[in-house]
Amino acid sequence: MKNFKRTVILVDRRTNPGQDLFIRGGIDHGHFPSCVGASSAYTSPCAIPLFHRKLEINTVTPARDSWAVADMYLDWEGPEPTQGKYNGRVADGTPAQWTTNQIGAKYYSPLNTFGPQYWYVDVNMDCSKTVDGFFEFKALVNGNWEGNPHLEATCGGPEGKTPPYHSPNHFARCGYLNVFHWDTPGCDIYAIPSAAAAQQPIVG
């Protein structure tokens, strides 16, 4: 487990009640052609192992927590065979949780210092399965994918650096807090605040 590092993703996306955001990703099949034809996340070299963590948030999150059960990879294939359901609905990938930056409001998270409508993923991820510490993803809301963000060459933020190759997907850095805007170029990378480090993974 020494290669697993806490990794946080925040995606700015305005949604309506009843809408949920998921992410899919890993390494793009165009970069690793050996991933094409993989039958599942369990066998794909492009999938990245992960364990969901308890969210740093002031409100219970039953939908996200249900979908997080047995979600063991960030992958492009969608729901894993034994992944949890919520009210009978299968997951569309790795689940995120809506948050606000308004202190004291419902769904406030101290990790969201960026705006009122950021979706939040918090996992321990196997950084040894990334490429130079980077991985890719795209978000989808109720089955609708964002487009090709065409990211800038270098990610901004205090911990920003240049991703290892070109991709039409978002690039995020394993072991850091990564901030994105839906269907928009650019990425900003920050160290995860140390006060948050004591949170433990949930049992999935």
The verdict on residue 44 lying in a domain is yes
Check: CB of residue 13 under 8 Å from CB of residue 117.
yes
The verdict on residue 151 lying in a domain is yes
45: left (phi over 0), alpha (psi -120 to 50) or beta: alpha
Domain that holds residue 17: 4-196
The verdict on residue 201 lying in a domain is no
How many domains in the chain? 1
The verdict on residue 203 lying in a domain is no
The verdict on residue 202 lying in a domain is no
What are the structure tokens assigned to 12, written together? 């700015």
Residue-wise burial string across 62-89, b where 16 or more C-beta atoms lie within 10 A, e elsewhere: ebbbbbbbebbbbbbbbbbeebbebeee
The verdict on residue 57 lying in a domain is yes
Q: pLDDT tens digits, the chain, 204 residues: what are they? A: 779 999 999 999 999 999 999 999 999 877 777 776 666 777 788 999 999 999 999 999 999 999 999 999 999 988 999 999 999 999 999 999 999 999 999 999 999 999 999 999 999 999 999 999 999 999 999 999 998 876 667 899 999 999 999 888 999 999 999 999 999 988 999 999 975 444 444 444
Rounded Cα distance between 41 and 49, Å, is: 9
Task: Please list, in sequence order, all residues whose beta carbon lies within 8 angstroms of the beta carbon of residue 175, skipping any fewer than 6 positions away.
Answer: 5, 6, 7, 125, 127, 133, 192
The verdict on residue 125 lying in a domain is yes
Check: CB of residue 39 under 8 Å from CB of residue 79.
no
